[in-house]
Chain A
Amino acid sequence: MMASSYNAKDEDGHITVSGPGGGTLRSKKPENTAFKQQRLPAWQPILTAGTVLPAFFIIGLIFIPIGIGLYVTSNNIKEFEIDYTGVDMSSPCFNCSQNFSWNSTRPCTCTIPFYLDQPYESNVFMYYGLSNFYQNHRRYVKSRDDSQLNGDTESLTKPSKECEPYAFHENKPIAPCGAIANSMFNDTLELFYNNPNGTKSEIPLTTTGIAWWTDKHVKFRNPGGNNPNLTAVFQGTTKPVNWHRPVYELDTDAENNGFINEDFIVWMRTAALPTFRKLYRIIQKKNNMVPTLPRGNYTLEVVYNYPVRSFEGRKRMILSTISWMGGKNPFLGIAYITVGSVCFFLGVVLLIIHHKYGNRNNSADISN
Chain B
Amino acid sequence: NEPTLLYTVCVGEENWVDSRTVYIGHKEPPPGAEAYIPQRYPDNRIVSSKYTFWNFIPKNLFEQFRRIANFYFLVIFLVQLIIDTPTSPVTSGLPLFFVITVTAIKQGYEDWLRHKADCSINECPVDVVQQGKVVRTQSHKLRVGDIVVVREDETFPCDLILLSSSRHDGTCYVTTASLDGESSHKTYYAVPDTMAFRTEQEVDSLHATIECEQPQPDLYKFVGRINIYKDKEEPVARPLGAENLLLRGATLKNTQHIYAVAVYTGMETKMALNYQSKSQKRSAVEKSMNAFLIVYLCILISKAVINTVLKYAWQWSPDRDEPWYNHRTENERQRHVVIRAFTDFLAFMVLFNYIIPVSMYVTVEMQKFLGSYFITWDEEMFDEELGEGAQVNTSDLNEELGQVEYVFTDKTGTLTENNMEFIECCVDGNVYIPHAICNGQILSAASSIDMIDSSPGGYRREHEDLFFRALCLCHTVQVKEEETVDGIKRGIHQGRPTSFYISSSPDEVALVEGMKRLGYTYLRLRDNYMEILNKDDEIERFELLHVLNFDSVRRRMSVIVKSSSGDYLLFCKGADSSIFPRVVSGKVEQVKARVEQNAVEGLRTLCVAYRRLSESEYAEACHHLTEAKLALQDREQRLAQAYDIIERDFVLLGATAVEDRLQEKAADTIESLHKAGMKVWVLTGDKMETAAATCYASKLFRRSTQILELTKKRTEEQSLHDVLFELNRTLLICTSGSPHLHICILLSVDCLDFGLIIDGATLSAVLKPNQESAGHGNYREIFLEICRNCSAVLCCRMAPLQKAQIVKLIKASKEHPITLAIGDGANDVSMILEAHVGIGIMGKEGRQAARNSDYAIPKFKHLKKMLLVHGHYYYIRIAELVQYFFYKNVCFIFPQFLYQFFCGFSQQPLYDTAYLTLYNISFTSLPILLYSLVEQHVTMETLKREPSLYRDIAKNSLLRWPVFLYWTCLGVFDAVIFFFGAYFLFDNTTFTSNGQVSLRLPFLNYQRMYYVFMQMLSSGPAWLSIILLITVSLLPDVIKKVLCRAMCPTATERAQSTRPCLTVEPSTIFMLSQSSSRMSF
Q: Is the CB of B395 within 8 A of A136?
A: no
- The verdict on A21 contacting chain B, using a C-beta distance below 8 Å, is yes
Q: When A1-B368, A212-B1011, A329-B989 are in contact, do A28 and B388 touch as well, CB less than 8 Å?
A: yes
Q: When A46-B1057, A322-B995, A358-B1046 are in contact, do A179 and B396 touch as well, CB less than 8 Å?
A: no
Of B419-427, B523-531, B669-677, B1063-1071, the stretch lying at the interface with chain A is B1063-1071
Q: Is the CB of A43 within 8 A of B329?
A: no
Of A192-200, A221-229, A264-272, the stretch lying at the interface with chain B is A264-272
- The verdict on A365 contacting chain B, using a C-beta distance below 8 Å, is yes
Q: When A22-B177, A22-B178, A134-B323 are in contact, do A279 and B995 touch as well, CB less than 8 Å?
A: yes
Q: Is the CB of A8 within 8 A of B382?
A: no
B-side contacts of A342, CB under 8 Å: 1035
Q: Is the CB of A30 within 8 A of B175?
A: no
1/0 contact string of A111-155 vs chain B (CB within 8 Å): 000000000000101010100011011111111101000000000
CB distance from B230 to the nearest CB of A (A): 37
Of A231-239, A248-256, A296-304, A305-313, the stretch lying at the interface with chain B is A305-313
Q: How far is it, in angstroms, between the C-alpha of A31 and the C-alpha of B373 when the chains are bound? A: 12
- The verdict on A47 contacting chain B, using a C-beta distance below 8 Å, is yes
Q: Is the CB of A272 within 8 A of B997?
A: no
- The verdict on B902 contacting chain A, using a C-beta distance below 8 Å, is yes
- The verdict on A273 contacting chain B, using a C-beta distance below 8 Å, is yes
Q: Is the CB of B1002 within 8 A of A269?
A: yes
- The verdict on A350 contacting chain B, using a C-beta distance below 8 Å, is yes
A-side contacts of B382, CB under 8 Å: 28-30
Q: Is the CB of A17 within 8 A of B178?
A: yes
- The verdict on B996 contacting chain A, using a C-beta distance below 8 Å, is yes
Q: Is the CB of A165 within 8 A of B330?
A: yes
- The verdict on A84 contacting chain B, using a C-beta distance below 8 Å, is no
Residue in contact with A125 in the complex, picked from B373, B995, B1014, CB distance below 8 Å:
B995
Of B6-14, B795-803, B1017-1025, the stretch lying at the interface with chain A is B1017-1025
Q: When A5-B277, A19-B178, A134-B903 are in contact, do A31 and B103 touch as well, CB less than 8 Å?
A: no
- The verdict on A367 contacting chain B, using a C-beta distance below 8 Å, is no
- Of chain B, the residue at the smallest CB distance from A309 is B319
Of B188-196, B643-651, B934-942, the stretch lying at the interface with chain A is B934-942
- The verdict on A361 contacting chain B, using a C-beta distance below 8 Å, is yes
Q: Is the CB of B1058 within 8 A of A365?
A: yes
Q: Is the CB of A17 within 8 A of B1062?
A: no
A-side contacts of B334, CB under 8 Å: none
Q: Is the CB of A4 within 8 A of B904?
A: no
Of A89-97, A287-295, A330-338, the stretch lying at the interface with chain B is A330-338
Q: Is the CB of A46 within 8 A of B377?
A: no
Q: Is the CB of B48 within 8 A of A10?
A: yes
- The verdict on A105 contacting chain B, using a C-beta distance below 8 Å, is no
Q: How far is it, in angstroms, between the C-alpha of A139 and the C-alpha of B311 when the chains are bound? A: 14
Q: Is the CB of B996 within 8 A of A279?
A: yes
CB distance from B909 to the nearest CB of A (A): 8
Q: Which of B155, B387, B903 has the most chain A CB atoms closer than 10 A to its own CB? A: B903
Q: How far is it, in angstroms, between the C-alpha of A12 and the C-alpha of B545 when the chains are bound? A: 39
- The verdict on B1038 contacting chain A, using a C-beta distance below 8 Å, is yes
Q: When A136-B902, A271-B999 are in contact, do A5 and B1024 touch as well, CB less than 8 Å?
A: no
Q: How far is it, in angstroms, between the C-alpha of A324 and the C-alpha of B1023 when the chains are bound? A: 13
Q: Is the CB of A18 within 8 A of B365?
A: no
A-side contacts of B1056, CB under 8 Å: 44, 46
Q: When A37-B377, A214-B1014 are in contact, do A16 and B178 touch as well, CB less than 8 Å?
A: yes
CB distance from B172 to the nearest CB of A (A): 15
- Of chain A, the residue at the smallest CB distance from B180 is A16
CB distance from B910 to the nearest CB of A (A): 9
Q: Is the CB of A47 within 8 A of B178?
A: no
Of B114-122, B255-263, B436-444, the stretch lying at the interface with chain A is B114-122
A-B CB contacts (within 8 Å), total count = 342
The B311-342 residues at the A interface (CB cut-off 8 A) are 319-320, 323-330
1/0 contact string of A19-51 vs chain B (CB within 8 Å): 111110101111110001111111111111100
B-side contacts of A49, CB under 8 Å: 1042, 1045-1046
Residue in contact with B106 in the complex, picked from A3, A320, A354, CB distance below 8 Å:
A3
CB distance from A29 to the nearest CB of B (A): 5
CB distance from B351 to the nearest CB of A (A): 10
CB distance from B900 to the nearest CB of A (A): 10
Residue in contact with A48 in the complex, picked from B326, B384, B487, B1045, CB distance below 8 Å:
B1045
- The verdict on A315 contacting chain B, using a C-beta distance below 8 Å, is no
B-side contacts of A361, CB under 8 Å: 1046, 1049, 1054, 1057
- The verdict on B239 contacting chain A, using a C-beta distance below 8 Å, is no
Q: Which of B323, B387, B985, B1014 has the most chain A CB atoms closer than 10 A to its own CB? A: B323
1/0 contact string of A204-217 vs chain B (CB within 8 Å): 00000111101100
CB distance from B289 to the nearest CB of A (A): 13
Q: Is the CB of B990 within 8 A of A37?
A: no
Q: When A29-B382, A141-B1004 are in contact, do A331 and B984 touch as well, CB less than 8 Å?
A: yes
- The verdict on A277 contacting chain B, using a C-beta distance below 8 Å, is yes
**By the criterion of a CB under 8 Å from any partner CB, how many residues of chain B are at the interface?**
125
A-side contacts of B469, CB under 8 Å: none
Q: How far is it, in angstroms, between the C-alpha of A39 and the C-alpha of B392 when the chains are bound? A: 21
CB distance from A322 to the nearest CB of B (A): 5
A-side contacts of B175, CB under 8 Å: 21-22
1/0 contact string of B796-831 vs chain A (CB within 8 Å): 000000000000000000000000000000000000
Q: Is the CB of A335 within 8 A of B985?
A: yes
- Of chain B, the residue at the smallest CB distance from A318 is B988
Residue in contact with B903 in the complex, picked from A137, A164, A358, CB distance below 8 Å:
A137
- The verdict on B908 contacting chain A, using a C-beta distance below 8 Å, is yes
Q: How far is it, in angstroms, between the C-alpha of A18 and the C-alpha of B879 when the chains are bound? A: 40
Q: Is the CB of A179 within 8 A of B326?
A: yes
A-side contacts of B325, CB under 8 Å: 133, 140, 179, 182-183
Q: Is the CB of B319 within 8 A of A312?
A: yes
A-side contacts of B117, CB under 8 Å: 14, 17-18
- The verdict on B17 contacting chain A, using a C-beta distance below 8 Å, is no
CB distance from A104 to the nearest CB of B (A): 15
Q: Is the CB of A210 within 8 A of B996?
A: yes
- Of chain A, the residue at the smallest CB distance from B998 is A212
B-side contacts of A323, CB under 8 Å: 993
- The verdict on A59 contacting chain B, using a C-beta distance below 8 Å, is yes
Q: How far is it, in angstroms, between the C-alpha of A23 and the C-alpha of B183 when the chains are bound? A: 9
- The verdict on B107 contacting chain A, using a C-beta distance below 8 Å, is yes
- The verdict on B81 contacting chain A, using a C-beta distance below 8 Å, is no
Q: Is the CB of A23 within 8 A of B984?
A: no
Q: How far is it, in angstroms, between the C-alpha of A133 and the C-alpha of B902 when the chains are bound? A: 11
B-side contacts of A129, CB under 8 Å: 988
- The verdict on B706 contacting chain A, using a C-beta distance below 8 Å, is no
The A316-368 residues at the B interface (CB cut-off 8 A) are 320, 322-329, 331-332, 335-336, 339, 342-343, 346, 350, 353-354, 357-358, 361, 365
Q: How far is it, in angstroms, between the C-alpha of A33 and the C-alpha of B342 when the chains are bound? A: 59
- The verdict on A171 contacting chain B, using a C-beta distance below 8 Å, is no
- The verdict on A65 contacting chain B, using a C-beta distance below 8 Å, is no
Residue in contact with B993 in the complex, picked from A266, A270, A326, CB distance below 8 Å:
A326
Q: Which of A14, A31, A166, A350 has the most chain B CB atoms closer than 10 A to its own CB? A: A14
1/0 contact string of B1023-1063 vs chain A (CB within 8 Å): 01100100110010011011101110100001011100111
Q: When A42-B1062, A47-B1065 are in contact, do A339 and B1032 touch as well, CB less than 8 Å?
A: yes
Q: Is the CB of B48 within 8 A of A13?
A: yes
Q: How far is it, in angstroms, between the C-alpha of A331 and the C-alpha of B387 when the chains are bound? A: 68
Q: How far is it, in angstroms, between the C-alpha of A261 and the C-alpha of B250 when the chains are bound? A: 85
B-side contacts of A31, CB under 8 Å: 377
B-side contacts of A38, CB under 8 Å: 374, 873, 934, 936, 940
- The verdict on A109 contacting chain B, using a C-beta distance below 8 Å, is no
Q: Is the CB of B1038 within 8 A of A52?
A: yes
A-side contacts of B907, CB under 8 Å: 138
- The verdict on A9 contacting chain B, using a C-beta distance below 8 Å, is yes
Q: Is the CB of B369 within 8 A of A23?
A: no
Given A39-B940, A45-B1065, 13 more A-B residue pairs with CB atoms under 8 Å apart are: A2-B396, A3-B110, A4-B394, A21-B249, A22-B183, A30-B376, A38-B934, A45-B1068, A47-B1065, A59-B1031, A143-B326, A273-B1000, A339-B1032
